[in-house]
Structure 1
Amino acid sequence: MTVSLEQLRRCHLAVDLGAARTRVYVKGLGLVVDEPSVAAVNTRTGALIAVGEFAQRMTGRTPSYIRVVRPVAGGTVVDVQMAQRMLRHLLGDKLRRALRRKPRLRAAACTPHDADPLAQRATTETLVGLGARRVELVDTLIASAVGCGLPVERPEATMIMMCGAATTQVAVLSLGAIVTAQRIPVGGEAIDHAIVQHLRQRHELMLPTQSVRPLQIALRGNGLTPTGPTSTEIHGRDVSTGLARSVTVDTAAVREAIHTPLTAVLDGIGRLLRDCPPDLVADLAERGIKMVGGSAMLPGLDEMLREATGMPVEIAERPDVCSILGLGAMLDGKVLPMTLNPLAR
């Protein structure tokens, strides 16, 4: 862990700036913000028109002078000023006034594993611009492990797989720290893009908007698994004529289309296990992999990992909010530090 639990207990709020959604946890209030990391801006005046869910629904439906932007990419803030404006509107005036009354406002934030100093600085500047006097950074993998109830403080191996929108992070934890980790540049967006390309090339069909997860449309009814439905109907726009059209998509062909991005994830897990000490690998064979993140709910992904690794695979109870709930548990003092008794002489 990058900071001590004592420092985190002094924080007043926690922020998880994800590529897909922004979540804010306030001590004493719980999870107060859970909205898409999207903002709509008027390019003529520079005014912010909408943020969050409403801004996401505007994607692909705006006139030329309104631009829909994402100030966070891959868990890293790419536009500090826009991220600050988005957070201010998501928090609301009432909550911001309550936070400003804190004499020395402290904030905690999740950062991706092995985030470079520039990415860490962008996250810090975003929260400082909101009035935070001090910002503590916590590895997303550790926060997620705490949030899903893994015994990270024990001297035994636990493996967590963070399935995000832009990246997939896999780590082996023991004694409250990361033993080895892999960051794979493949996430839910890459899988969605593979399905979009499959529909375009095989059926000459374009989906009406990129804001609706095409994966949930093409694979509803657990279509990723062999026991799911053999076909499903998709509505979209014909590439050549531009007219609305419906096609029947073979789910077996969709499974083949997303094989390439999922293979990259399996390769990353293989590299992780090769770098892991043998004693910890023996623990993992019994305890398996815990999946967190929004893309962990991809139908059939857990079954595919179970077959490829031979280890038990389990999806967390609330996989999409594990990281912010884990950070909130640290703020509330629900996580106790491990005590090591010195040997008596």
Structure 2
Amino acid sequence: MTASLEQLRRCHFAVDLGAARTRVYVKGTGLVVDQPSAAAVNTRTGALIAVGELAEKMTGRTPHYIRVVRPVSGGTVVDIEMAQRMLRHLLGDKMRRALRRKPILRAAACTPHDADPLAQRAAIETLVGLGVRKVELVDTLIAAAIGCGLPVEQPEATMIMVCGAAATQVAVLSLGSIVTAERLPVGGEAVDQAIVQHLRHEHELILPSQSVRPLQLALSGNGLTAQGPASTEIHGRDVATGLARSVQVDTAAVRDAIQAPLTAILDGIGKVLRACPPDLVADLADRGIMMVGGSALLPGLDQMLRQATGMPVHIAERPDVCAVQGLGAMLEGRITPLALDPLGT
């Protein structure tokens, strides 16, 4: 954790800027923003047309002079000015006026594990542009672990896997700190892309960008497991003719197509466990892995991890908002650090 709990208690709001969604928690109020990280811009005038869900719906459906942009990629702000404009509109005038009444406005923000100084600076600059005077940074892994109720501050091992849209982060935590962790450039988008490429190569079908997540369409039922439906119908556009067409897709073939990105996640888990002290690994044999993040709801992923690791695998109650809820718990002072009193000599 970059910031101390005492510093975080003085913060007034917290922001989780993700590649897929942006979430804002205001102290004393709760979660006030949970919207897609997207903004629609008029390229002729530079005016902001829409943000959040409306901008997301406009993706792939706009005239040439309207562009839908995503200012966050892989958990890192890549367009600071656009991220600031998006946050201003998502918060709304009333909430921004209430926050500006604070004498010294303080905020907390999630950053991916091992984020480089430029990525940390981008997150700070984004919030400073909103009038924040002091920004505290918190590792996403620790925030998510607190948000899903893991005993992070105790001298026992907890393993968490944050499944994001652009990356997957795996860590073993103990005594409020990260013992060992890995950040893998594979997330829900990579799995979706594997399915899109499979349908294009095998069935000459192009899926629209607004296709209600191709993953959920192709892996309905029990998803990645063999007990799921043998085939499912997919609607898209024919590569050659450009006309609308429907095909029956073999879900077993889809499972094979997404094995490559999922294998990378399994390799990352193995690497974390190999670098972990034996005593902590023994704890994990009983407690298992906690999955959080929007992509944790990938159908059948938890069962695949159980079979591959032989460990219990759990999905958080609300996996998509665990990180921002963890930040909120720290802001509200609901986390009590373990007191380590020095022994007298």
Is the TM value for this pair above 0.5?
A: yes
Shift of 1:223: 2.6
2-side partners of 1:221 and 1:37: how far apart? Answer: 29
Residue equivalent to 2:20: 20
Residue equivalent to 2:253: 253
2-side partners of 1:329 and 1:91: how far apart? Answer: 20
| Equivalent position amino acid for 1:15 in 2 | V
Residue equivalent to 2:155: 155
What 5-or-longer segments of structure 1 have no aligned partner? Answer: none
For the Cα contact (< 8 Å) 2:293–2:321, is it kept in 1?
yes
| 1:177-188 matches, cutoff 5 A | 177-188=177-188
Shift of 1:225: 1.0
Shift of 1:210: 5.0
Taking structure 1 as the reference length, the TM-score comes to 0.99
Residue equivalent to 2:291: 291
For the Cα contact (< 8 Å) 1:56–1:211, is it kept in 2?
no
For the Cα contact (< 8 Å) 1:59–1:211, is it kept in 2?
no
CA distances 1:166-223 after superposition (whole Å, capped 9, x unpaired):
0000000000000000000000000000000001011111112256311111112223
Structure 1 position 195 matched with structure 2 position 208: no
2-side partners of 1:95 and 1:217: how far apart? Answer: 38
| Equivalent pairs, count | 345
2-side partners of 1:212 and 1:46: how far apart? Answer: 29
Structure 1 position 217 matched with structure 2 position 217: yes
| 1:1-345 matches, cutoff 5 A | 1-210=1-210, 212-345=212-345
Equivalent residue of 1:248, what SS?
strand
CA distances 1:21-53 after superposition (whole Å, capped 9, x unpaired):
000000011000000000000000000000000
1-side partners of 2:322 and 2:190: how far apart? Answer: 22
Give the 4+ runs in structure 1 shifted more than 6 A.
none
1-side partners of 2:107 and 2:208: how far apart? Answer: 39
Q: CA RMSD in A?
A: 0.8
2-side partners of 1:149 and 1:290: how far apart? Answer: 10
For the Cα contact (< 8 Å) 2:13–2:108, is it kept in 1?
yes
For the Cα contact (< 8 Å) 2:41–2:69, is it kept in 1?
yes
Taking structure 2 as the reference length, the TM-score comes to 0.99
2-side partners of 1:287 and 1:178: how far apart? Answer: 17
CA distances 1:45-88 after superposition (whole Å, capped 9, x unpaired):
00000000000000000000000000000000000000000000
| Equivalent position amino acid for 1:283 in 2 | D
CA distances 1:295-326 after superposition (whole Å, capped 9, x unpaired):
00000000000000110000000000000000
CA distances 1:83-139 after superposition (whole Å, capped 9, x unpaired):
000000000011111111111100000000000000000000000000100000000
1-side partners of 2:182 and 2:161: how far apart? Answer: 10
Change beyond 3 A, Cα 1:235–1:211: closer
For the Cα contact (< 8 Å) 2:22–2:36, is it kept in 1?
yes
For the Cα contact (< 8 Å) 1:231–1:249, is it kept in 2?
yes
What 5-or-longer segments of structure 2 have no aligned partner? Answer: none
